[in-house]
Amino acid sequence: MSLSHLATTTISNSTVSGNPLRRSSKTNNCGSVRLSNRTPYTSCELNHNQNQEPTHNGGIDRRNVLLGLGVVHGATATIANNAIGAPMVPPDLATCDPSKPSATDDETKQKINCCPPYSSANIVDFKPPSSSEPLRVRKAAHKYNSDDIAKFEKAIAAMKALPKDDPWSFGQQATIHCTFCNGAFNQLNSNTLLQIHGSWFFLPWHRYYLYFWERILGKLIGDDTFAIPFWNWDTPKGMYLPKMYQNVNSPLYDGTRNKEHYTSMIDYKYDITSDAPNPKENSQQIAETEIRNLAEIDSIFKETLQLPALFMGKAQRGGEKPAEAQGRNEALHNVFHQWVGPLQTPYHNMGNFATAGKDPVFYGHHGNMGRMWDIYSKLRGQKVEFRDPDWLESAFIFYDENRQVVKVKVKDCLTPESLRYSYAPEPLAWTTIRRKYKKLQNAAQTRSAGDSLKLKPVSEFGSSPTNLTEPIQVLVQRPKTSRTKNEKADAVEVLFVDGIQIPHGSTARFDVYVTKPIAGLAGPHNGELAGSFVKVPHAHHGSSNGAVHTHTSSLELGISTLLEEIDAESSEKLVVSLIPRSGEVIVGGVQIRLVDVDDDE
């Protein structure tokens, strides 16, 4: 079944088609890593022979999605943590620390305040909206007409007119992101930082954040059907900053943005420190950037459908330190923060997680992030990504549209419709881009054919960490070659980049490419992009004595489909290239392992 057909059948209709592939024996062979014996996933043959562009219209099966569905839990410290387990719980509001260090090394004496305007509250359990409430429909920002813009501006203006200490005010609403992402709280009864980025909480937390922000805006203008826009950056016409945010006289404007990007198409390979000119007038450059952008989204979905941790982020449980392992969805999200934000430290507003919520475009960007999750869920047949109670029962707190602090749980936000909103249909252009992308890649390799004799030796990574100051290529052993269809359904081939160390408060990016060796040597072409590590600066947890703190992460990238496309399934080893783009980065190791996809259905 092609991805375009899968998208059509699972997104355009409430009836799910596309059966899981037959599973093979569950013996832990081939060097694979077993995640759990409770982890069913949907697997599909992904190819792009269809020319149609399916749309995402928010249709959903309203069945109980909590029954008999997926979990990532258990066996490895890089996909899911080895922990007895406990759900995340809200912090003690009285313990908020208003004096966390700034996000940049040159401003270590500057303090930030991410605390809410109250230190205690009567917290009640959140009750999901009734199905009788109007369904609010979010539209693509680039399709907003003058009436849509006027209503949105009216709502934002009303929020900005509130007193600064009002929890509904624009500034206080922006601070919520800082509170959960920049060290304002420790986890309850713990000295461990409360942080939702780089983990499986990234998407559900932001879904709730936008939900309450949207409801408050609607309340301010007396419109219970009010819906916020989403920045539809996964379609060519949406790969520009929406015009509504560029009017200097509008409450949607933010003066801290990089104005050089107002007329430029976003390049998903953007790197903040080398700010190369983005496509503007060169039609060929624009076309090639568009193709590469769409191909990356296509790859993100194809390589993660069987293992949600690769899309959503690493498991994190109550009492554990932050997971610091972003999914591919979050890595792409980080690129947009850097592209919109300024080039200078401390990168306020969009370019720094402590201040990102102060720019109205933040909410349009995350509207599309939530839409990506919605599409992903539907492509998986609406199976819950993780059945683990440590995810489903984890809780956060928000200030709602009735001026009440409510405790929400992940299990109550698994679909937009459960919160009474949906997304207007939009073409999924990335589902039919593979043929154009392969043609573009073939042309690039042809241009480098003259360098075919420039082969060079390549060795294994070794046991010592390496400073990624220049591109490095390593030869990596695969656990098994020429896997069968059933074997691919049972285990995903994952490339692990471990021990990634970056100074806190800094930006960083490196890209990971994979190709076949030529007679054991590295050729002139890096091969196919497997994914990227992208870090946005934010405040760190610790003392403010000027000491440099280190941010340690890992990166896990599915490569099963990639190997099919580069005809490398029979290769015993692969050449992996780590290409530094920005920041000070140390890498601890590179390896390839099979990660089991268990099925107890």
Nearest to 203 by CA among 12, 377, 44, 85: 377
525 catalytic residue (yes or no): no
Reduced DSSP (H G I as helix, E B as strand, rest coil) percent helix, strand, coil of the chain, to 5? 30, 15, 55
261 catalytic residue (yes or no): no
48 catalytic residue (yes or no): no
366 catalytic residue (yes or no): yes
Instruction: Provide the residue type at 296 as one letter.
Output: E
Q: How far apart are CA 392 and CA 395, in angstroms?
A: 8
The answer to whether 592 touches 496, Cβ cutoff 8 Å, is yes
Nearest to 514 by CA among 547, 549, 562: 562
Q: How far apart are CA 499 and CA 238, in angstroms?
A: 36
Specify the pairing of strand 421-423 against strand 136-138: parallel
From the candidates 5, 261, 333, 504, give the one annotated as an active-site residue: 333
From the candidates 5, 206, 261, 504, give the one annotated as an active-site residue: 206
From the candidates 73, 337, 348, 365, give the one annotated as an active-site residue: 337
From the candidates 170, 336, 353, 533, give the one annotated as an active-site residue: 353
Q: How far apart are CA 313 and CA 324, in angstroms?
A: 8
From the candidates 73, 142, 197, 538, give the one annotated as an active-site residue: 197
Q: In sequence order, what E strands does 321-448 have? A: 395-399, 405-409, 421-423, 426-427
Cβ partners under 8 Å of residue 146, min gap 6: none
Cβ partners under 8 Å of residue 188, min gap 6: 89, 90, 91, 92, 318
126 catalytic residue (yes or no): no
Three-state SS string over 256-277 comes to CCCHHHCCCCCCCCCCCCCCCC
The answer to whether 494 touches 595, Cβ cutoff 8 Å, is yes
Is-cis flag, bond preceding 346, omega within 30? yes
The answer to whether 463 touches 565, Cβ cutoff 8 Å, is no
From the candidates 73, 142, 366, 525, give the one annotated as an active-site residue: 366
Q: Which helix (H) or strand (E) holds 112?
A: strand 111-112
177 catalytic residue (yes or no): yes
DSSP letters along 151-169, please? Answer: HHHHHHHHHHTS-TTSTTS
5 catalytic residue (yes or no): no
From the candidates 177, 365, 541, 551, give the one annotated as an active-site residue: 177
Max CA distance (Å), the chain = 71
Q: Which helix (H) or strand (E) holds 535?
A: strand 528-535
Q: Give me the active site residues, please.
A: 177, 197, 206, 333, 337, 353, 366
